Amino acid sequence: MDAPKLQLLSEKIITPSTPTPHHLRQYNISYMDQLLCRKYIPMTLFYPHNEKQISPPSSTTLEKSFSDLLSLYYPYAGRIVDNKVVDCNDKGAILSEARIMSTMSDILKQPFSKVQRTVFQNDLPWSEPRLEHDSLAIARLTHFGCGGKSLSLCLTHKLGDSNTLCNFLLHWSALARGISFPPPQLIGSTLLPPNDDPFTPYMFEVKNQPHTTRRLHFDGATIDHLVDLIASQSDIKNATKAEIVTSILNSALARAESKMKTSSSPFMIYIPLNFRKLISPNLSNLMGNFLSFLLVHIKDENDLKLPTLISKIRTEKIRHFKKYKRLDKEDIPSAIRAETGSFPTEFADMRLSTSLCDYPLYDIDFGWGKPTKVSFGALPTRNTFGIFDGPNGGVVALAVLDEKIMQEFLRDEQILEYACLQPGY
């Protein structure tokens, strides 16, 4: 089935409502920002038609609140000069509006790639800005024939991670509804000073590979059952949903690869962590990339048993937290530089598992009510999993795998027992 025809209603460059002061016109990015690529991190929120709404927010309200938001997140209205500096020149960010006659439910049944081409602008998810003057933030409001709508957002990874993306959306929705919030903290380069060399090479690059994406759902009752099961089989009495789902996905992938004879142990699971709470408990609004990284080594089949793998993840997490908690704040930058400097450069035997669990994505209300579906754009790199909260205490997982491996992965005993395959996006 071809992707439904989209009618572009408008496309505007939105500039900050308050010009950026001269002394803030040069924004120095942090050391961690230097290591990250410039590709766009994508997220989409889907809002059903709400007949009870008396006066839903207009397009003008969305534009005005976006303009106000860019005054707070002013580097996103600028342009990257090099791998050290952003020129905060108020050239603005793109906001477009489109219409499609298909219903939202019909669109969401389509394959993942086709939905992304519908709700995002110009195949943006995880693409690279083409020119130096390209916008660093790109949003689109899409109206469906049923009265529902989606709001998609792509932010350059160079200026922020998933925490920044979620805060950007939460703050935008607050402005649209006239709700106050603590402003974002743009002090990243003070906490993690950049290298003097603007040509610092990217350490964490997203490489396009042939792949297929499937969306899996673990309902809340299943998660609760697994927490109790793990507690009865190990000394982990309070396994988190992220630990549980990460372990199920990676052990199923390892078994699928073994059956297809494409890989075998040992390998590593690479898990990014939000580093803000390790620096300070009051930096949840810190803009930028503040990531630390767990490397969980899998040596043999015994390590793939669910209680064992969860225990390995938990042990590594505790060791990691203790390491940084005992450091003085001024010692943290050198510790991070040492950690990233020793990071493996060979990614062939690594699996990426990133979690957005516990972010309040289903509370992002622009005045249309709360979203009924949230989706994080899938990475174009094989052997990656993105997990985030689903409704009613459940967890949604995006699995990005080689197509043949995916077929075997979906037949795995634990996937069949604990997860439900959701068709489409």
Say whether 34 sits in a helix, a strand or coil.
helix
Q: In what order do the strands lie in the sheet with 373-376?
A: 7-14, 93-100, 137-144, 149-156, 40-47, 373-376
Average pLDDT over residues 277-300: 87
HEC-encoded secondary structure of 37-98:
CCCEEEEEEEECCCCCCCCCCCHHHHHHHHHHHHHHCHHHHCEECCCCEEECCCCCEEEEEE
Percent of the chain with pLDDT over 70: 92
Q: Kindly give the pairing relationship between strand 384-389 and strand 395-401.
A: antiparallel
* CA dist list (Å): 157 to 32, 88, 172, 213, 313: 11, 17, 18, 21, 26
What is the predicted pLDDT for the residue at 249?
97
Task: Give yes or no for residue 325 having a pLDDT over 60.
Answer: yes
Average pLDDT over residues 8-19: 95
According to DSSP H, which parts of 237-379 are helical?
Answer: 241-260, 276-279, 306-325, 332-341
Task: Give yes or no for residue 175 having a pLDDT over 60.
Answer: yes
Residue 209 CA to residue 348 CA, distance in Å, equals 12
What is the predicted pLDDT for the residue at 343?
64
| Window from 151-160, 295-304, 332-341 with minimum mean pLDDT | 332-341
Question: pLDDT band at residue 281, thresholds of 50, 70 and 90?
Answer: confident
Task: Give yes or no for residue 79 having a pLDDT over 90.
Answer: yes
Looking up tokens 């920044």, which residue turns up? 164
What is the predicted pLDDT for the residue at 131?
60
Burial class (CB in 10 A: 0-12, 13-18, 19+), 106: middle
Average confidence score pLDDT of the chain: 88
Question: pLDDT band at residue 282, thresholds of 50, 70 and 90?
Answer: confident
Residue 135 CA to residue 352 CA, distance in Å, equals 28
Catalytic residue among 68, 82, 90, 365: 365
**Residues linked to residue 96 through DSSP beta bridges, in sequence order:** 11, 140
Structure tokens at 56: 């839903």
Task: Give yes or no for residue 66 having a pLDDT over 60.
Answer: yes
Instruction: Convert the pLDDT of each residue in 352-376 to its tens digit.
Output: 899 999 899 999 999 999 999 998 8
For residue 79, the Cα-to-chain-centroid distance in whole angstroms is 22
Average pLDDT over residues 256-274: 82
Q: Does residue 378 contact residue 397 with C-beta atoms inside 8 Å?
A: no
Average pLDDT over residues 382-405: 91
Structure tokens at 307: 């209680």
What is the predicted pLDDT for the residue at 347?
47
Task: Give yes or no for residue 274 having a pLDDT over 50.
Answer: yes
What is the predicted pLDDT for the residue at 425?
81
What is the predicted pLDDT for the residue at 5?
80
Q: In what order do the strands lie in the sheet with 420-422?
A: 291-298, 267-274, 350-355, 384-389, 395-401, 212-218, 420-422
Residue 19 CA to residue 6 CA, distance in Å, equals 34
Instruction: Convert the pLDDT of each residue in 86-99 to its tens digit.
Output: 999 999 999 999 99
Looking up tokens 């064992």, which residue turns up? 308
Q: What is the largest CA-CA distance in the chain?
A: 61
End-to-end CA distance of the chain: 15
90 carries an active-site annotation: no
**Against a cut of 0.85, is the pTM above it?**
yes
Task: Give yes or no for residue 201 having a pLDDT over 70.
Answer: no
Q: Does residue 198 contact residue 78 with C-beta atoms inside 8 Å?
A: no
- Name the nearest CA neighbour of 62 among 19, 97, 98, 104: 97
What is the predicted pLDDT for the residue at 326?
80
Q: Does residue 124 contact residue 40 with C-beta atoms inside 8 Å?
A: yes
Task: Give yes or no for residue 44 having a pLDDT over 50.
Answer: yes
Instruction: Convert the pLDDT of each residue in 203-262 to its tens digit.
Output: 666 666 778 999 999 999 999 999 999 999 988 989 999 999 999 999 999 999 988 876
Residue 159 CA to residue 189 CA, distance in Å, equals 11
What is the predicted pLDDT for the residue at 3?
54
What is the predicted pLDDT for the residue at 133?
64
* Amino acid (1-letter code) at residue 14: I
157 carries an active-site annotation: yes
- Name the nearest CA neighbour of 278 among 236, 315, 319: 319
Q: Roughly what angle, to the nearest 10 degrees, separates helices 306-325 and 241-260?
A: 130
Catalytic residue among 157, 171, 211, 320: 157
Looking up tokens 């690869």, which residue turns up? 257
Question: pLDDT band at residue 71, thresholds of 50, 70 and 90?
Answer: very high
For residue 196, the Cα-to-chain-centroid distance in whole angstroms is 29
Domains of the chain: 7-191 (3.30.559.10), 212-422 (3.30.559.10)
